[in-house]
Amino acid sequence: MQRIFGRNVSFCVMLCCLFISFICVDHFYPTLRISKNIQKIIYDSVTEKAVEKYFTVSTNSKNTLVRLNEPNSHNTVKNISILSQKAVARLTKQELQQIKGYGTSSPIVVKKYKLVFFWNQKAGCTYWKRLLQFIQGVKNKELHVPGRNGLTHLTQFKDSEITEMMFDNSWTKAVFVREPRERVLSAFLEKGLNPARMRDMCRRPAVKSLLEFITLIKTCKDVHWSSQVKLPRHLYKYTWIGKMPDINSYTEKLLTKIGAWNDTVNNYLHSKEQFEKTRPHATSANEKLLQYYNDTKSQDIIFKMYAADYDVFKFDKKYFN
């Protein structure tokens, strides 16, 4: 009898201890959980939007924070929330490097209109660079060489500034892309068939067919045919994505959004000078699509090689025929 009683008591004590420790842990748990992801937090005011704006570690952690700041949450530090900018590990070194790009490929920044433009080779890049010069009154003839084209590139900014640009929605992030089959064909016609270009880029003679070119670019890497997915995927939700067929309406929408659209710009875009400079790049490959993609084999290879592009930019995988 006594032994059973004793056992019951110790069982109760155990339960009590468990309960007390549970309360303690629950009391501190929010802080613990938060500090696991972010070393030190200076709390301020709380809105989901604010958390959304600055939080990038993971969706899970963001949801945890938002939940912890709900009125009925277990949060012991009242009214905590927005993570101080300094305290948050927002983009990794690797992500920042990926965003900045390398050398001549770096995105263009137009500070005046708070625009970061992620352009791509063989996707209207001449058109965009000329336009971004124009809206800033830059008269430089040089287009492609940073430092000589009068344009500002993302590589010129500090990591903290780039992070701010990426997450502050007063900055517009624009991405312009082209359908991969169209872009590869354009590269084939302009580079693949050109002996001098092939010698420079791939150390070999010109190719003879599109299929040969497609096979070659699996091993000969170059920015003119590399993937147009140049941002960590989770950042695309903050970007305005434009595609070649919509170049005109997209231009107007984008420039209107940043406050750079007016009659002068509109007239410039429709001027003969601008038209002739950019038209060949924009359309010559398009007209030849049907002629060159006359079987499914090469298209299947491209679908596979550029799977990320098709996925992120939602290009239609319908065969040309």
Ligand X SMILES: *[C@@H]1O[C@H](CO)[C@@H](O)[C@H](O)[C@H]1NC(C)=O
Residues that bind ligand X (CB under 6 A): 45, 78-79, 135, 137, 260, 262, 264-265, 291-292, 294
Contact 120, 176 (CB under 8 A): yes
Nearer to ligand X, 66 or 312 (CB): 66
Q: How far is the CB of 56 from ligand X (least distance, A)?
A: 22
From the list 316, 104, 299, the residue with the least C-alpha distance to 211 is 299
Give the separation between CA 30 and CA 27, rounded to whole angstroms: 7
Nearer to ligand X, 45 or 160 (CB): 45
Q: How far is the CB of 208 from ligand X (least distance, A)?
A: 10
Give the separation between CA 125 and CA 282, rounded to whole angstroms: 9
Structure tokens at 23: 């309360």
Q: How far is the CB of 16 from ligand X (least distance, A)?
A: 33
From the list 236, 63, 84, the residue with the least C-alpha distance to 160 is 84
Give the separation between CA 191 and CA 201, rounded to whole angstroms: 9
CA distance to 140, 192, 230, 285, per residue, from 185 (Å): 30, 9, 20, 6
Amino acid at 51: V
Q: How far is the CB of 137 from ligand X (least distance, A)?
A: 5
Structure tokens at 196: 């001098």
**Which one-letter DSSP state was computed for residue 172?**
E
Give the separation between CA 244 and CA 44, rounded to whole angstroms: 44
Q: How far is the CB of 282 from ligand X (least distance, A)?
A: 22
Q: How far is the CB of 232 from ligand X (least distance, A)?
A: 31
Strand partners for 152: 109
Cα dihedral 20/26/84/92 (nearest 10)? 120
Q: Which residue is listed with tokens 């929605």?
A: 169
Q: Which residue is listed with tokens 């992120």?
A: 312
Nearer to ligand X, 135 or 214 (CB): 135
Nearer to ligand X, 82 or 235 (CB): 82
Element (H, E) at 191: none
In the bound state, the residue with its beta carbon closest to ligand X is 45
Nearer to ligand X, 121 or 298 (CB): 298
Nearer to ligand X, 38 or 265 (CB): 265
Nearer to ligand X, 214 or 260 (CB): 260
Q: How far is the CB of 5 from ligand X (least distance, A)?
A: 49
Nearer to ligand X, 294 or 296 (CB): 294
Q: How far is the CB of 260 from ligand X (least distance, A)?
A: 5
Give the separation between CA 28 and CA 76, rounded to whole angstroms: 8
